[in-house]
Structure 1
């Protein structure tokens, strides 16, 4: 009997970095995500794992022993295998029945977005495994990858969410977020990783003075949700970018790549690398393509 699980991808719109310290972040689930198909087999004590990209290209395949998962025996042969064993081990610790009551499994994961896009190949995997094992996905994240958990909230919700950590525990508030001007919002894939470690280090140094910034981010998140036209939306984006630029001691993405852009551009999630959000009065697709950024996705095609 085959079981299929699915989780949504994610984009963090506000609160990058500061969400770790209690800021209220706006996060949006994407129309693209990841499936996980589980089929029990008679392959005594072994799990066959196959991972497919959005174009059905097989990018990972391995055969892992139950004993290795139960014992968390990493250094199996590849970083992917080690990561997978670690996640499955913590899932097993939380619910020993799955492996105990089966002879073997064939697992197939299917992304519906290119895996390099940064829309949550890891978070959707963790949430799918948590569904399979009937365990808490936030706890599984904490025990494996770590992070704020906003991406798990997106994986589990089909609407926008306000997300914050309260004493280390996730507080997820689903909200209706359907701006009338979504035709003016686009997501642009940069595919240019910057050194996020430097930005994270700069952020960590500011933690003793973070409380005023948390308050600012909370206010900007609220303002963004309540923006009633693209001009006010763009204004809030630019304010948010300015606050984080000072905090991270890093130029904004607009200053770095698009100083002549007529509109606002905002980094999403960790600064530099994957998607940015652009807001403009007219379709900016040709502008970004002329700059060498060929993947420009309209809001309505990206966001659930």
Structure 2
């Protein structure tokens, strides 16, 4: 999420960027009475296996109970949204294939929800909102072909494709911080801290609309810095640049829950790589290599 983190939960307009790397799934008929589930990481190694009861979706066998609990939640709610899904009691073998490292935080759960929704022939956002407490922007991204505007308000939950192709993309980089931030923890911290939601939503919505019109890096940086400042003001959270990279000669913007996964950094390629590599952060991805 480029703009709108946290505030999107209260109805602010957000700008979200789908990534080129996602997750794929295959479903094949299988002999037996259970669902057989295997999940592979980006290197082709199995990271999760389970046999799942077709009757109540509980794990008969599993290598990770927490993952099995989430699968049960997704499958049960998929059936609630489409009573014909899996109603023949047929057994299947399901395989999922991540295209990015699991610790990147690019949406292994949200892409899985989208894949299950497609299998069940239901709306991905409907399934997500039955299962989780977030905004749903990441599930919208899982099915998008390019950047989107996303809104989750009392009146609507929807997204719209937009034409966002910054001419200065060669000076934008995604830097992996090497630490996973729990989305639920981030949401709870925001809900406890936020002050004056109405003003926050209006300001962030304005930034989201304005950033789509910028023609140069300088204007983009000003909007990103304003966004960081606004979120900090309304929550008391410390911007990531002030906290960890105060001597960086450029703009650093948090993406999603503050303090985890990726940040966006601006600057010349050589400088950005030299700076963050010197901090021990070696996963630095150019904008055009990351974003659809």
User: Which residue number in structure 2 is paired with residue 56 of structure 1?
Assistant: 44
1:10-159 aligned within 5 A: 12-43=1-32, 45-69=33-57, 73=58, 78-159=65-146
Q: CA deviation at 1:197?
A: 7.1
SS of residue matched to 2:199: helix
Q: CA deviation at 1:205?
A: 3.9
Residue ranges of structure 1 left out of the alignment (5+ in a row)? 1-11
CA distance in 1, matches of 2:60, 2:264: 38
Residue ranges of structure 2 left out of the alignment (5+ in a row)? none
Q: CA deviation at 1:103?
A: 2.3
Q: CA deviation at 1:171?
A: 2.1
Kept in 1: contact 2:176–2:263 (CA 8 A) = yes
SS of residue matched to 2:152: strand
Alpha carbons of structure 1 residues 60 and 186: separation in structure 2 relative to 1, 3 Å? same
User: Which residue number in structure 1 is paired with residue 277 of structure 2?
Assistant: 289
CA distance in 1, matches of 2:127, 2:184: 24
- C-alpha RMSD of matched pairs (Å): 1.9
- The worse-fitting range, judged by mean Cα deviation, of 84-93 and 206-215 is 206-215
SS of residue matched to 1:30: coil
Alpha carbons of structure 1 residues 196 and 55: separation in structure 2 relative to 1, 3 Å? closer
CA distance in 2, matches of 1:298, 1:48: 38
Q: CA deviation at 1:199?
A: 5.6
CA distance in 1, matches of 2:239, 2:208: 18
Quick check: 1:220 aligned with 2:207?
A: yes
Kept in 2: contact 1:25–1:218 (CA 8 A) = yes
User: Which residue number in structure 1 is paired with residue 247 of structure 2?
Assistant: 260
User: Which residue number in structure 2 is paired with residue 172 of structure 1?
Assistant: 159
**TM-score under structure 2 length normalisation:** 0.93
Q: CA deviation at 1:208?
A: 6.0
Kept in 2: contact 1:40–1:105 (CA 8 A) = yes
Q: CA deviation at 1:96?
A: 3.0
CA distance in 1, matches of 2:193, 2:162: 31
**TM-score under structure 1 length normalisation:** 0.90
Could you give the per-residue CA deviations for residues 76-122 of structure 1, whole angstroms, max 9, x where no partner exists? 76111111111111112222323222521000000101111110000
Q: CA deviation at 1:147?
A: 1.3
CA distance in 2, matches of 1:222, 1:265: 20
Paired residues in the alignment total 289
Alpha carbons of structure 1 residues 273 and 208: separation in structure 2 relative to 1, 3 Å? closer
CA distance in 2, matches of 1:192, 1:219: 30
Could you give the per-residue CA deviations for residues 11-57 of structure 1, whole angstroms, max 9, x where no partner exists? x11000100111000001000000010001222x2100000011111
Kept in 2: contact 1:202–1:249 (CA 8 A) = no
Alpha carbons of structure 1 residues 115 and 193: separation in structure 2 relative to 1, 3 Å? closer
Kept in 2: contact 1:27–1:161 (CA 8 A) = yes
Quick check: 1:303 aligned with 2:286?
A: no
- The worse-fitting range, judged by mean Cα deviation, of 281-290 and 237-246 is 281-290
